[in-house]
Amino acid sequence: MTSKQTQTIVASNNPYLILNNQGKTLHRLELTANQHILGRDPQQADLIVPDDWQVISRCQAYFRKVGNDYQIYDGHGGKPSSNGLFINHSRISPTEGYTLEDGMELQIGQNPQNLIILTYFNPRNPKSVTSPSQRFISLKNKSVMLGRDTNANLQLDAPTVSRCHAIIDSDGRGTLCFTRSQY
């Protein structure tokens, strides 16, 4: 006679984080309390990352619950972290913080060689995605700018897209050139 084991999986409605360190991923760090600290130091942090993730400080970020979402602050106790916490290349303050929204991506550190991506998800407060009003754009004899800027030919409303994210241009011979924006 064999016994069959079953595993029950319970999906949680709590906000959570996913951290990506150059392909190594920490899945679903749940946010359940009114405040949390993310870091490597188990004496201070309750959202603990592996000790070999050196880009993350002992106390990298402080989370404070506000309504259904969380506010994030760089460092803890007004003291900034060593490598910083960024959204769209702007540093998040240890005193002012930043209100997180579902699907938002933040960066820990600035060096692309060891950058860590922190993604916030909130199943209780999912961000609605709006489809672009324009489905196609003619590339004939003109450049096309993609980004969040109101002057962009194709506006993309996402926290990971810069104001002028890219420019598509023709070289006159039918070849398209993609240029990443410098701002």
- pTM equals 0.65
Of 113, 104, 115, the residue nearest 157 (C-alpha): 104
Q: Which pLDDT tens digits describe the chain residue by residue (183 residues)?
A: 555 555 544 567 899 999 999 889 988 899 999 999 999 999 999 999 999 999 999 999 999 999 989 999 999 988 999 999 999 889 999 999 999 999 999 999 988 888 999 999 998 887 765 555 555 666 665 777 878 788 877 777 776 777 788 887 776 666 666 666 554
DSSP-derived secondary structure letter, 172: S
Per-residue confidence (pLDDT) for residue 8, from 0 to 100: 45
pLDDT confidence of residue 138 = 67
Reading the block at residue 21, the tokens are 């360190």
Dihedral of alpha carbons 53, 54, 58, 61, sign: negative
**At 145, is the secondary structure helix, strand, or coil?**
strand
What pLDDT was estimated at residue 27? 85
Q: Is the dihedral of CA 45, 48, 53, 56 positive or negative?
A: negative
Q: What are phi and psi of 78, to 5 degrees?
A: 85, -5
